[in-house]
Amino acid sequence: MEFVWTYEKQQPQQVKYFLKEKGVSKGLLARIKFQGGEIKVNGKIENVLFSLTYNDKVTIVIPAEGEHETVLLDETPIDIVYEDEHLLVVNKPAGISSIPAQYHPNKTMANRVKAYYKKQGYENQVIHVVTRLDRDTSGLMLFAKHGFAHAKLDSQLREKKVIKKYQALVSGSLNKLQTHGWVDLPIARDSSSLLKRMVSSLGQSAQTEYWIEKQMDEVALVDIQLHTGRTHQIRVHFSEIGCALLGDEMYGGRMDLGITRQALHCYDLRFYHPFTQELLEFKQSVAKDMATVLQYFKD
């Protein structure tokens, strides 16, 4: 894979510092140097100490990554929302984990994406998950198709430039919900469970912002944006204020409306393209089980 830039500064600068400004890490430079890549200036191979001058054309050729040998293939088709040579956005169904785990090495989105890459014959088949979703959360997931894109998107994540918004169906004390509200309550592990979390003064800071999208007699559809990323944050916060997610048995959600997983869907994903800097935004309608409940109460 090849990337080309024009050096536009008046003062000279070594290639290594210029590439650092472009997001090329020391690790990626090492791959280029030792695994068959190239650095060129004006079409001629140079090393990282070469001094650039105004209007020089800098090219890097990144060697193919191959594949993760240990990631198994799952031929189940994926629902592709967007794809280019650097990015892949998919709509993840509920009930599917994002990545393999020790005791569940297959049947995850990573396994499905690898099989897709394999079928397409892509030279880069390493799976780079940028945004994960819990197993029972549906919606938009972002993959980088090579390590350079992954590094640049990780930088956006650290700078909070990758925005994910969710929709959830909640019930309970709906009168406690505001049209636009915040839940600012710290979250810690629940000592009674390996998985469960709880609100605790000893926990880590956690902030959840929400808007009521639709209020019905027994259920409300809320839009949610996380301002921190604690495990089970949405589920814990809404349970704590008396409005647990439908289908979320762990946190006291209603189980009598046909939803058997937490009614949570990542419907909006926004970030800047790592190479064109274009603002990209994707939206995805809620999954069928949530849509059925919305239709039931509408009728």
Indicate which residues carry an active-site annotation.
134
As given in the structure block, the two tokens for residue 243 are: 């409005």
Q: Of 248, 235, 252, 231, give the one whose Cα is nearest residue 289.
A: 248
| First vs last C-alpha separation in the chain | 53
The total number of residues shown for the chain amounts to 299
Q: What is the number of other CB atoms lying within 10 angstroms of the CB of residue 209? A: 15
Q: Of 88, 97, 146, give the one whose Cα is nearest residue 116.
A: 88
Mapped onto helix, strand or coil, the DSSP state of residue 24 is coil
